[in-house]
Chains A and B, each alone.
Chain A
Amino acid sequence: MYRLSLGESSSSPREAIVAKWLKAEGQVVTAGDSIVRLETGDANLELTSAVAGTVRQIAIREGLACRVGQVLCYVGDPAEPIPAVSPVNDAPTVSARASAQESKETVQTPTTIPEEALMSPDTPSSSSSPSSSPTTGPTGQVIPILMPQAGQSMEEGTVLEWKVAEGDSISEGQVILEIETDKANMDVEAVDSGRLAKIVAQAGAIVEVKVPIAYLADNDADVEAFIAGQGMAPEAPADPSPSVTRDETPVTGAKTASSVRSSGRVKASPAARKLAAQKNIDLNRVSQGSGPGGRVLTTDLASVEAAPGSSVGGQLSKMRRAIARNLLFSKQTIPHFYAKATIEAQRLYETYGRVKSGQFQCTINDFVVAACARSVREFEPFRGQFQADETIKVFPDCNIGLAVGTDEGLTVPVVLHADRLTLDALAAEIRNIVEGARRGKMANVGQGVFTITNLGMFGVESFQAIINPPESAILAVGALREDVKVENGAIKPTRLMALTLSVDHRVIDGVVAARFLARVRELLEAPEQLL
């Protein structure tokens, strides 16, 4: 059964009114069918379904308001039972309501282990592990706390901070930890009360959804027995990531045969593997794992000293990994070429000062964005993207991305239709999305055709940027600085600013890039045109 709702996006409204149902209960929906029309008073929306099935229940009738994320209808198999919701006043779901507006939301931990989590621990060693079938059950009651799935796209979450410690009594509804997903940070509430016997995913751990991160039990021994009985790693493994050391080293020392696989890999629980990586411990130095089949557990590592010397970078955040992959891909597959122009920015500086003090809040960068947006509109190749099938696809909209540095790393929120906005609206929008990005809320990510990156505020004079794929160009903006210029043989004090354009030569040729840069210069040197 699927629940359909108005999804969150920066352009979608927070609330809309159900104007008309285009499908009735009992009607069959195929993917792509329009199902309901929503009105906001401003923009009207027609929601289509991405899934096929039968409309089992309409949760909000015509004329009533729905919030982003609130269930509108259920689509499923006619044989499935109908969900028990009041068709008039379905309460908004916590996560959906929250995710529309907040960077932080509260979710609850599911405490039932889905079968697939039990069956496939997804550790590299599990398939051949002799202990993977459940053997002994727990003696006392053990309730696993699972990584919650907040939103259907969430695949894994990072444990940021535990608010409770092992041994604490926790109660239902209490916020017990904070997690980070690819979208937001959120507090996780307990759905059961009890004694927190064991935390298996410490801060920093990346855990798949619905995989245990901690256990409630009265006795610690029960938990160990439970874990051993499930034959399951007490923790989900992290994705392989470039900087995490994995123990692929063949066994050399005195190892007991039982802890070594024929491949030469030390058998260890993922938690132990990670802990070892964090503490820079060579798993080969563990003489005997105490887990089933000699598997090395975290408890076995306590007595092992860290290897001296080399340090291990620790787990990469999801964002860091994405940056690494993207930029490596870009630099390796896109033939970059660069063009630099130093523009005279005296008038730009004065215009900016006048506008800011007398008209509206703005920055120099807003002018740059406006000039680029207009130039991108005029130069079609700058809206082109090189496709895998060796064609170039041109996009109609001048959506401009802005590289924003945050504590976690680089993000590129995007201003949609930047060419259509007046400078004051553009400035406001930029402020909005940049502030949003700094708070973890990304606007229109991935919808850009061109990116601007500005390090001028740090005094950087000029630099060359890496194209943000699948885009074809990026402009690196340097500091607007006082300098001198030679004009007709005379030295004149003025202000200068360097613009360095990086372009994908597969899509944009040198002459086009030069003309584009000249147009940007023309607009910025007479910035009144942008007002």
Chain B
Amino acid sequence: MSTEYDITVIGAGPGGYVAALKAARMGARVAVVEKGHLGGACLNVGCIPSKALLASAELLHKIRAAGSMGVKVHGGIEFDWAKIQKRKDKVIRKLRGGIKGLLGAGDVHLMTGTATFKAAGTLTVTTSEGKEETIHTKNTIIATGSVPARVPGWPTDPQWVCTSDEALHWKALPKRLLIVGGGVIGCEFACMMHEYGVEVHVVEMLDGLLTGMESQLGDALEASFRQRGIRILTSAKVEGMTVGQTDVTVSVSGEAPLAVDKVLVAIGRRPNTEHLGLDAIGLAPDRGFLRVDDRMQTEVAGVYCIGDANGRCLLAHAASAQGEAAVQDALGRGEAFSLPIPSAVYTFPEVAAVGMTTREATEQGIPVKVGQFPIGYLGKAMAVGEEGGFARVVRHRDDNTLLGVHLIGHNATEIIEVATAMLTMKADTQALAKMVFAHPTLGEAVKEAAEDSFEAALHLPPREFAKVVAAVEEVSIQ
């Protein structure tokens, strides 16, 4: 049997299924090929399950601090890990069902199996039972996502060394956990596991947490983690590990050997582009990633790549947005995609950012002015007992263009949307400073930070300059 589609999407993650729905909505004949569960990494082993586990952890965190809010909890505070896992699984099942329903309602042909290219426009779909089917398609959107990277040479038995894929579905909690990598995934797990009573050690090779983000965010998160008793080793490297009878002994540069029950590798993700038969259409991935133009098209006409697999931005919402852009281009209504993409870290306190960091601006030679406002100064923050964190606004020093907004604090991932809106509209920073925010809200910190970038924050005392002697080094210039 052979069918011709306008668009075939490989992978039903947040990029793929959204692309399929968009294409169907635009009147195209659409197929989606998925080898596993609907929803991709995001729904099954990423954003959603981690948020479900974090939600229980945060509730626990709040209950433990209930005394300070005048709420007494009688008896001990306990949690039921099995039930927490069950709730997470239920959330996943419900969302999978939702996607299936939407695809069905949109008249998208869902195929279960793996797709490989025979030629541009011809794909072979192999089901798990080994049945093969050839489909013809005018356009293909590769949305195969990524898998967690592992470290070559380290033990692979998930009893000892796992990635987030396994860690999200642990049946029992380890007593001692070493997390390798202080990026988003490492930080979220550190935060979550610590709350569940796990002794957590984080080893990061670079000099801080969340290193791609504005450095003050990682510094603040690190301070908060340390205060809670999470052990953070930055500028440190795992030099080796030995699996013993009952635990793993890890040697970290400059530290005494550390015995832990599990090691979680959170060093990044690897694109899933190996088994697509890309040779058949003459595409060569660059370290696994399929490079695309601003319309998400690869070097082969009619073949698009969205989401993690193109390596532009490894975030679910980026994949969805790119998916829509790819579909519009495939159906002849495309335009270059260049919208700002916010990033969100669901630790408590949350971290969120959109736009450029100070460092990125400096690297591009763009002069900046920053404004910063501590969330703890806000009435709402005090009232709800969530006083940690700050908002930081980076603007162009000369023309006032809003360049980036960086937040750490309670609900930062929700508050960032206002900044994303302004940045998407290419707003002037004055517009953000003038905007009326509801009072009392935590979002007011963004307004104050924007004002502060003009040295006009009404709720900050004028800043003084503390005199410090510059470090001096004698150099000889030849």
Q: A34-B467, A65-B362, A69-B471 are in contact. Are A428 and B226 (CB under 8 A)?
A: yes
Give the residue name and chain of the A residue nearest to B466 (CB): A45
A203 CB within 8 Å of chain B: no
Find chain A residues with CB under 8 A from B463 CB. 39, 43-44
Residues of chain B in range 210-244 having any CB-CB distance to chain A below 8 Å = 215-216, 219, 223, 226-229, 234-235
Find chain A residues with CB under 8 A from B464 CB. 44
Q: Is the CB of B470 within 8 A of A64?
A: no
Interface string of B348-372 (1 = CB under 8 A from A): 0000000000110111011111111
Residues of chain A in range 386-437 having any CB-CB distance to chain B below 8 Å = 424, 427-428, 431-432, 435
User: Distance (Å) between the CB of A13 and the closest chain B CB?
Assistant: 8
Q: A48-B467, A63-B368 are in contact. Are A17 and B207 (CB under 8 A)?
A: no
Q: Is the CB of B365 within 8 A of A89?
A: yes
Interface string of B368-389 (1 = CB under 8 A from A): 1111100000000000000000
Q: Is the CB of B470 within 8 A of A41?
A: no
Q: Is the CB of A431 within 8 A of B468?
A: no
Residues of chain A in range 54-86 having any CB-CB distance to chain B below 8 Å = 61-65, 69, 72, 74, 80-84
Which residue of the partner chain, among A2, A48, A439, contacts B475 with CB atoms under 8 Å? A2
Q: Is the interface of B mostly helix, strand, loop or mixed?
A: mixed
User: Distance (Å) between the CB of A388 and the closest chain B CB?
Assistant: 24
Stretch at the interface among A115-123, A223-231, A357-365, A475-483: A357-365
User: Distance (Å) between the CB of B128 and the closest chain A CB?
Assistant: 49
B476 CB within 8 Å of chain A: yes
Residues of chain A in range 456-471 having any CB-CB distance to chain B below 8 Å = none
Question: CA A8 – CA B226 in complex, angstroms?
Answer: 21
Q: Is the CB of B227 within 8 A of A37?
A: no
Which residue of the partner chain, among B253, B398, B467, contacts A46 with CB atoms under 8 Å? B467
* Chain A interfacial residues counted at CB < 8 A: 67
A181 CB within 8 Å of chain B: no
Question: CA A64 – CA B476 in complex, angstroms?
Answer: 26
Interface string of A315-341 (1 = CB under 8 A from B): 000000000000000000000000000
Find chain A residues with CB under 8 A from B469 CB. 7, 47-50
Find chain B residues with CB under 8 A from A64 CB. 361-362, 365, 367-368
Find chain B residues with CB under 8 A from A129 CB. none
Q: A48-B467, A361-B228, A427-B227 are in contact. Are A83 and B475 (CB under 8 A)?
A: yes
Which residue of the partner chain, among A61, A62, A83, contacts B477 with CB atoms under 8 Å? A83
Interface string of B432-476 (1 = CB under 8 A from A): 000000000000000000001000000000011111111111111
Question: CA A84 – CA B359 in complex, angstroms?
Answer: 23
Residues of chain B in range 229-270 having any CB-CB distance to chain A below 8 Å = 229, 234-235, 253-254
Find chain A residues with CB under 8 A from B372 CB. 40-42
Residues of chain B in range 109-165 having any CB-CB distance to chain A below 8 Å = none
Give the residue name and chain of the A residue nearest to B77 (CB): A358
A88 CB within 8 Å of chain B: yes
User: Distance (Å) between the CB of B204 and the closest chain A CB?
Assistant: 11
Question: CA A39 – CA B216 in complex, angstroms?
Answer: 13
Find chain B residues with CB under 8 A from A6 CB. 468, 470-471
Question: CA A358 – CA B72 in complex, angstroms?
Answer: 11
Give the residue name and chain of the A residue nearest to B371 (CB): A41
Which residue of the partner chain, among A5, A15, A46, A439, contacts B359 with CB atoms under 8 Å? A15
Question: CA A17 – CA B253 in complex, angstroms?
Answer: 32
B338 CB within 8 Å of chain A: no
A196 CB within 8 Å of chain B: no
Question: CA A78 – CA B45 in complex, angstroms?
Answer: 63
Q: Is the CB of A80 within 8 A of B254?
A: no
B397 CB within 8 Å of chain A: yes
Give the residue name and chain of the A residue nearest to B360 (CB): A65
Q: A5-B470, A63-B397, A104-B235 are in contact. Are A432 and B226 (CB under 8 A)?
A: yes
B93 CB within 8 Å of chain A: no
Q: Is the CB of B472 within 8 A of A62?
A: no
Give the residue name and chain of the B residue nearest to A531 (CB): B68
Q: Is the CB of A103 within 8 A of B67?
A: no
Which residue of the partner chain, among B208, B368, B398, B471, contacts A7 with CB atoms under 8 Å? B471
User: Distance (Å) between the CB of B229 and the closest chain A CB?
Assistant: 4
Q: A39-B370, A431-B226 are in contact. Are A51 and B468 (CB under 8 A)?
A: no
Q: Is the CB of A7 within 8 A of B358?
A: no
Find chain A residues with CB under 8 A from B228 CB. 360-361
Which residue of the partner chain, among B227, B358, B474, contacts A15 with CB atoms under 8 Å? B358
Which residue of the partner chain, among A14, A51, A62, contacts B219 with CB atoms under 8 Å? A14
Find chain A residues with CB under 8 A from B365 CB. 64, 88-89
User: Distance (Å) between the CB of B467 and the closest chain A CB?
Assistant: 5
Q: A1-B477, A3-B475, A432-B223 are in contact. Are A44 and B466 (CB under 8 A)?
A: yes
User: Distance (Å) between the CB of A440 and the closest chain B CB?
Assistant: 8
Find chain A residues with CB under 8 A from B371 CB. 41
Give the residue name and chain of the A residue nearest to B206 (CB): A101
Interface string of A149-184 (1 = CB under 8 A from B): 001100000000000000000000000000000000
B25 CB within 8 Å of chain A: no
B65 CB within 8 Å of chain A: yes
Question: CA A50 – CA B471 in complex, angstroms?
Answer: 8
Question: CA A528 – CA B223 in complex, angstroms?
Answer: 25
B64 CB within 8 Å of chain A: yes
Which residue of the partner chain, among B361, B473, B477, contacts A152 with CB atoms under 8 Å? B473
Give the residue name and chain of the B residue nearest to A36 (CB): B470
User: Distance (Å) between the CB of B472 and the closest chain A CB?
Assistant: 5
B295 CB within 8 Å of chain A: no
Find chain A residues with CB under 8 A from B358 CB. 15, 17, 65
A12 CB within 8 Å of chain B: yes
Question: CA A80 – CA B475 in complex, angstroms?
Answer: 11
Question: CA A34 – CA B469 in complex, angstroms?
Answer: 9
A507 CB within 8 Å of chain B: no
Q: Is the CB of B476 within 8 A of A1?
A: yes
User: Distance (Å) between the CB of B468 and the closest chain A CB?
Assistant: 5
Give the residue name and chain of the B residue nearest to A104 (CB): B254
Q: A41-B372, A47-B470, A152-B474 are in contact. Are A358 and B67 (CB under 8 A)?
A: yes
A35 CB within 8 Å of chain B: yes
Find chain A residues with CB under 8 A from B370 CB. 17, 39-41
Q: Is the CB of A359 within 8 A of B68?
A: yes
Find chain A residues with CB under 8 A from B467 CB. 34, 45-48
User: Distance (Å) between the CB of A421 and the closest chain B CB?
Assistant: 12
User: Distance (Å) between the CB of B455 and the closest chain A CB?
Assistant: 10
Find chain A residues with CB under 8 A from B359 CB. 15, 65
A145 CB within 8 Å of chain B: no
Find chain B residues with CB under 8 A from A74 CB. 475, 477
Question: CA A17 – CA B358 in complex, angstroms?
Answer: 8
B392 CB within 8 Å of chain A: yes
Give the residue name and chain of the B residue nearest to A425 (CB): B227
A185 CB within 8 Å of chain B: yes
Q: Is the CB of A63 within 8 A of B369?
A: yes
Q: Is the CB of A103 within 8 A of B235?
A: yes
Q: Can you give 16 A-B contacts (C-beta < 8 A)?
A: A14-B215, A14-B219, A17-B368, A36-B470, A40-B216, A41-B370, A42-B390, A43-B466, A44-B465, A50-B470, A62-B397, A65-B358, A74-B475, A101-B207, A359-B65, A359-B68
Interface contacts beyond A63-B366, A361-B229: sample of 15 additional A-B pairs, CB < 8 Å, sorted by A: A1-B474, A1-B476, A2-B474, A4-B470, A6-B468, A14-B219, A35-B470, A40-B372, A51-B472, A62-B397, A97-B207, A104-B235, A359-B67, A424-B227, A431-B226
Of all A-B residue pairs in the complex, the 5 with the closest CB atoms, nearest first, are A63-B367, A41-B372, A7-B471, A428-B227, A102-B235
- Taking Cβ atoms with an 8 Å cutoff, the residues of A that contact B are 1-8, 12-15, 17, 19, 34-37, 39-51, 61-65, 69, 72, 74, 80-84, 88-89, 97-98, 100-104, 151-152, 185, 358-361, 424, 427-428, 431-432, 435, 439
